[in-house]
Structure 1
Amino acid sequence: MSAETSAGTSGDTSGGTDGTDPGTPGDPSAAAHTERTGRGSVTMEKAIGRDRTVAVVGSGTMGQGIAQVALVAGHPVRLYDSAPGRAAEAVAAIGARLDRLVEKGRLDAAAREDAAGRLHAAGELAELADAALVVEAIVEDLTVKRGLFAALEEVVADDALLATNTSSLSVTAIAGALRLPGRFVGLHFFNPAPLLPLVEVVRGFASDESAATRAYETVKAWGKTPVRCADTPGFIVNRIARPFYAEAFRVYEEGAADPATIDAALSECGGFRMGPFELTDLIGQDVNEAVTRSVWESFFQDPKFTPSLAQRRLVESGRLGRKTGHGWYPYGEGAERPRPHTAPPAEAPAEITVEGDLGPARALVAMAREAGITVHETDEDRGTRILLPGGGQLVLADGQTSVEFRDVVYFDLSLDYREATRIVLSASEVTAWETLRGAIGLFQALGKKVSVIGDVPGMIVARTVAMLIDLAADAVAKGVATAEDIDTAMRLGVNYPVGPFEWRRRLGAAWAHEVLDELHARVPTGRYAPSLALYRRTYAEMGGE
């Protein structure tokens, strides 16, 4: 499990299994039976009962976390590591964490003693023979993992469920050499496993549906939130999250804005918990870049997943983020965090004219009136825009650029214009200064800080959200996961304010397609070409218009 997705959730440690709620126990009678359904298949049903042993191989951070989750859920747990003494050290570390839960009142002393009595270090793989479930959390190396599971097959019963916690390797490939690949699945926990609720349950090409269902029900019984996923590069979260980083880095590479301003746009305007520059510094630039490159290569260098040259240079320079004292930002004692660009005060216009329906930004009409600005509204079919007294226009980011029009200022998409503390504007060299000042003054009158960036199509939040929606639609069409599971995974796995399909519901059926179509016309590399899935969804929901 790479820290890529886990670090993205470190800002919210609520709601996970931390010893307070072990969830609903499995039914002991639901132990797997060995009815063969074909080559490599074993039928499995329901959750693994609490009385059955769960084994974890690998005693690092993830292995300890998974072992703790199974332990608090009531299972006997055996922890194995190939390095002598490591498993015993991990058992002691888990015990210390249970002690801290008791001190915080999250676990009573009797429950702690009961749990400690069910946790044991294993010195040999043979000691895992009675395990009903074995979860592997070792080094991300395909050869090493395949060797481990081949050895485990010689030890455990044919009805034991085998699972890998890999975040970057193919579940299908790991299971490829197994005698019974049907009982093999991916269980991708997020770090720290005891706290974070999401688990991606990954069905490989040869995995039996009954095995995936049993894994799903077991994880659910542990108090986690499982989502089903096909074996695809990046699974759900690491696949669909790529634009959150990539589009921010692209805006930076285009010289349109600095990292602090881009981070502020996505957090203060877009509603994301952290901006991508701050987040990748926390994750580690090397880790984040490696995941991006892995997904890109796994998709045969699809331009939608192209890595960032600027991030590559950062990694090559050794500026890996917080762990090295410098990434996109400096860290350490005395380091000053760069501040986002914020425009100085400007006079607000006394009146504005709104033409058409502002769509996602319609709240601005009421907000302007509440601020004492006179608002005239017209239904004239000349587009959707806000007209300033001097004739300049304010337009919601749509994938076009200011330089294509005279006297146009674009403003970025917001999750909630009332709640947003910052609004981002873009203008070009042909935009009148009076128009830009009027736009700045208007949003300042609405109580917002204002950042002005360069003239880039789709700006920051809008292009990011449009790409997230596109990748999510494509994933559903290709059978990766359901729309509901994708939204759940993105909210719980990387703390997005809403999932891609909720964004799409709020923005309208055609919004993302139209933004990407305009972006593709200006950057015809294929990166922004709307997927066939998004095209079909859009036209189906619009009734073929």
Structure 2
Amino acid sequence: MTALNTNARIAVIGAGAMGAGIAQVAAQAGHPVLLLDNRPGAAAQAIEGIDRQLGKRVENGKLSAESRSATIARLHAVEAIEALAECELIIEAIVENLEVKRALFRQLEGICGEHCILASNTSSLSITSIAAQLNHPQRLLGLHFFNPAPVMALVEIVSGLASDPTLAECLYDTAKAWGKKPVHTRSTPGFIVNRVARPFYAESLRLLQEGAADCPTLDALMREAGGFAMGAFELTDLIGHDVNYAVTCSVFDAYYGDTRFLPSLIQKELVDAGRLGRKSGHGFYRYAEGSERPQPTSISSDHPVETCVVEGDLGIANALIARLREHQINVIQRDGQGLLKVGDAVLALSDGRMACQRAKEDGLRNLILLDLAFDYGKASRIAISCSADISPSALEHGVALLQRAGFKVSQLTDSPALAVLRTVAMLANEAADAVLQGVASAADIDLAMRAGVNYPQGPLAWADAIGLTHILNVLENLQTSYGEQRYRPSLLLRRRVAEGRTFHD
């Protein structure tokens, strides 16, 4: 089954920000669109709002006046659900309440023709459960857009237990024709993005709770070392802590209390205090007029550094060698176990162990551990940790070398896997379990995380680039350090390592 013809009439129920955005997308793609809301006049007001937004794009030269006029001409506000009888696709974007959605779709089943596809934009409710009371549950699927719908590329095509695969392909092709990046997913808690993204928030929140670093430093590391658009604290402030915390609780409850999805007490306290982020003026940061954003913490050294020694293969951090040479550091290379030495300091990429543990077990004095960077050749900041008994001169040498290479250096307390590495390892681990459980393919998961939440790389492709053996070691060491099931490695990750394969083989 191919995409719906542009002559096909589309209906959107719910004229809030999401519903209006979806209606705009469909109308801009060429479909006649009916917009319905149970609030009198809300649909017409939403179309006026769309017109104003498109008018701004015309003024900025990003849209022609003709395209604006044609889009608005295709949008029609209706006041009665019976007006949707001739539609070929009806998308529901109303309140996230299971019984309300069930009642709406039962009503639609009695109004619409048998070939009309019914779709829910739910972000958290089970498509299987919504469809369970329908006479024809196979015609209901999830069509999950991301906010704002006209801007965000990702659409999750969600299949419940009874959903017709042919209709899922039709929605996939239709979303693609609308200029979106669709992915297929089964109806499991959180679908793809809201499930796989949980560790992005959870690991920063845990590091904050443990006093590893403050909010601005952890956020800066995720941006400037990890390549993410925002850190966890500024992102949750933007989303709203009430919303983000509720999603985490929903996923946690849906997976019967699996500790991998454990909500944060720090975030709960913010919600209890009404500090919901930008919309309330205060979250992890203050947003009142005149408020200044606190700066990340960096350490520095004035120690002169001219030469360093690289022993063996630095793995994914090998780009450091060229970067050091570009900054006129004499790099001597020789065989060894993947270490970087300068003065009294020994630097190594973290393997998930604490610095104190690794120094003792591997017999390495004055050990400084380096966090992961998305691109060691271009990252502007890097996190380090070291054991308490490191000599002051060794720390000076190590920091001076990294500074000379152009890094701002942030020191964390001696935390397993530091910040970026533990986050990426956990994102990859969650994505691996989603593949293992048949939620979605590796390719669709990576696409979803890039297009839906703007990750610099899909977590599974990122794990492949780092090396699955290294990711497995990191997770096993995290699990040993904490003694928790939260960090248990996915069976699929273990299998891929044993087979010598990547996630995308």
Aligned to 2:313: 357
Q: Is 1:514 matched with 2:468?
A: no
Equivalent residue for 2:263? 307
> 2 CA distance for matches of 1:271 and 1:438?
26
Q: 1:400 aligns with which of 353, 358, 362?
A: 353
Kindly indicate whether the alpha-carbon contact (under 8 Å) linking 2:352 and 2:474 is maintained by their aligned counterparts in 1: yes
Residue in structure 1 matched with residue 362 of structure 2 by the alignment: none
Q: Does 1:459 pair with 2:413?
A: no
TM-fit CA distance, 1:52: 1.4
> How many Å separate the matches in 2 of 1:342 and 1:107?
44
Q: Does 1:236 align with 2:192?
A: yes
Q: Note if contact 2:12-2:91 (Cα within 8 Å) is conserved in structure 1.
A: yes
Shift in Å, 1:341: 0.4
Distance in 1 between the 2:438 and 2:156 partners?
15
Contact 2:18 2:147 in 1 (8 A): yes
Per-residue deviation, 1:348:
4.1
Match for residue 468 of structure 1?
427
Distance 1:110 1:399 in 2: 57
Alpha-carbon contact 2:446-2:457 (below 8 Å) kept: yes
> What is the aligned partner in structure 1 of residue 448 from structure 2?
489
Coordinate RMSD, CA, aligned: 1.4
Distance 1:278 1:91 in 2: 32
Q: Does 1:276 align with 2:232?
A: yes
Q: 1:441: which partner in 2?
A: 400
Q: Which of 175, 180, 193 is the equivalent residue of 2:149?
A: 193
CA distance in 1, matches of 2:209, 2:215: 10
**Partners in 1 of 2:147 and 2:132 — Cα distance?**
27
Q: What whole-Å deviation, never above 9, does each CA across 1:372-413 have from its counterpart, x for those lacking one?
A: 333222223xx32112322x3111111111222242111111
Structure with the bigger RCO (C-alpha within 8 Å, sep 6+) is 1
- The separation in 2 between residues aligned to 1:389 and 1:85, in whole angstroms, is 73
Q: Distance in 2 between matches of 1:73 and 1:433?
A: 63
Residues 363 and 418 of structure 1 are in contact (CA less than 8 Å); yes or no, is this contact kept in structure 2? yes
| Cross-structure match for 2:51 | 95
Do 1:166 and 1:188's aligned partners in 2 also have CA atoms closer than 8 Å?
yes
Give the structure 2 partner of residue 152 of structure 1. 108
Tell me the distance in 2 between the aligned counterparts of 1:367 and 1:100: 44
Distance in 2, Cα, partners of 1:359 & 1:418: 13
**Letter matched to residue 446 of structure 1:** A
Shift of 1:522: 0.7
Contact persistence 2:219–2:232 (CA under 8 A): yes
Could you say which residue in structure 1 is the equivalent of 2:6? 50
The question of whether the paired residues in 2 share the 8 Å contact of 1:346 and 1:440 is answered with no
Shift, 1:257, TM fit: 0.3
Residues 199-245 of structure 1 deviation map (CA, whole Å, 9 limit, x = unaligned): 01111111010110111111111111111111111111111111111
Amino acid at match of 1:519: L
Match of 1:480 among 439, 459, 470: 439
Higher mean C-alpha displacement, 241-250 vs 108-117: 108-117
Cα distance in structure 1, aligned partners of 2:14 and 2:351: 49
**Secondary structure of residue in 1 paired with 2:485:** coil
Give 1:316's aligned amino acid: D
Letter in 2 for 1:217: D
* Offset at residue 483 of structure 1 (A): 1.1
- Please, what TM-score do these two structures have when normalized by structure 1? 0.89
1:424 pairs, out of 365, 376, 383, with 383
Partner Cα distance (2:72, 2:279) in 1: 33
Deviations 1:300-326 (CA, angstroms, capped at 9, x unpaired): 111111111111111111111111111
Secondary structure of the equivalent of 1:426?
A: strand
- 1:22 aligned residue: none
Letter in 1 for 2:313: D
The alpha-carbon deviation at position 89 of structure 1 amounts to: 1.6
Q: Is the 8 A contact 2:305 2:404 kept in 1?
A: no
Matched, 1:384 2:338: yes
Distance of 1:317 and 1:428 partners within structure 2: 37
Q: 1:369 aligns with which of 317, 321, 325?
A: 325
Cα distance change of structure 1 residues 51 and 432 upon mapping to structure 2, 3 Å threshold? same
Report the Cα offset of residue 104 of structure 1.
3.0
Q: Output the amino acid matched with 2:459.
A: P
Give the structure 1 partner of residue 127 of structure 2.
171
Distance in 2 between the 1:368 and 1:387 partners?
13
Residue among 139, 156, 170 paired with 1:214: 170
Amino acid at match of 1:450: V
Deviations along 1:61-84, one digit per CA (max 9) or x if unpaired, are 001000011111111111111122
- Measure, in 1, the Cα distance between the counterparts of 2:71 and 2:445: 34
Match of 1:127 among 75, 78, 83: 83
Question: What SS does the corresponding residue of 1:362 show, helix, strand or coil?
Answer: helix
Aligned sequence identity (%): 49
Residue identity in the other structure for 1:514: N
Q: What amino acid maps onto 2:43 in structure 1?
A: A
- Say which SS state the counterpart of residue 134 (structure 1) adopts: strand
- 2:408 maps to a residue whose letter is K
- State yes or no: 1:541 paired with 2:495: no
Aligned length: 496
Say if 2:27 is the partner of 1:71.
yes
Match of 1:31 in 2: none
* Structure 2 CA distance for aligned equivalents of residues 330 and 95 of structure 1: 33
Instruction: Quote the offset at 1:275 in angstroms.
Output: 0.7
AA matched with 1:496: Y
Write the letter of the residue equivalent to 2:321. Answer: V
CA distance in structure 2 between the aligned counterparts of 1:112 and 1:314, rounded to whole angstroms: 42
Asked if structure 2 preserves the Cα contact closer than 8 Å seen for 1:50 and 1:73, the reply is: yes
**1:105 is matched with which residue: 61, 64, 67?**
61
Q: How far apart, in 1, do the equivalents of 2:68 and 2:404 lie?
A: 56
1:525 aligns with 2:465: no
AA matched with 1:251: L
Residue 88 of structure 2 aligns to a residue in which SS? strand
- How far is the alpha carbon of 1:510 from its aligned partner? 1.0
The AA in structure 2 aligned to 1:538 is: V
Q: Map 1:18-29; keep pairs closer than 5 Å.
A: none
Give the counterpart letter for 2:302 in structure 1.
Answer: A
Secondary structure in 1 matching 2:399: helix
The AA in structure 2 aligned to 1:314 is L
User: What residue identity is the alignment partner of 1:358?
Assistant: L
Aligned-residue offset at 1:542: 6.0
Secondary structure of the residue that 1:256 maps to in structure 2?
coil
Tell me if structure 2 keeps the 8 A contact 1:403–1:431: no
Q: Which residue of 1 aligns with 2:93?
A: 137
Asked if structure 1 preserves the Cα contact closer than 8 Å seen for 2:425 and 2:471, the reply is yes
Contact kept in structure 1, 2:24 and 2:71, CA below 8 Å: no
Q: Are 2:208 and 1:249 aligned?
A: no
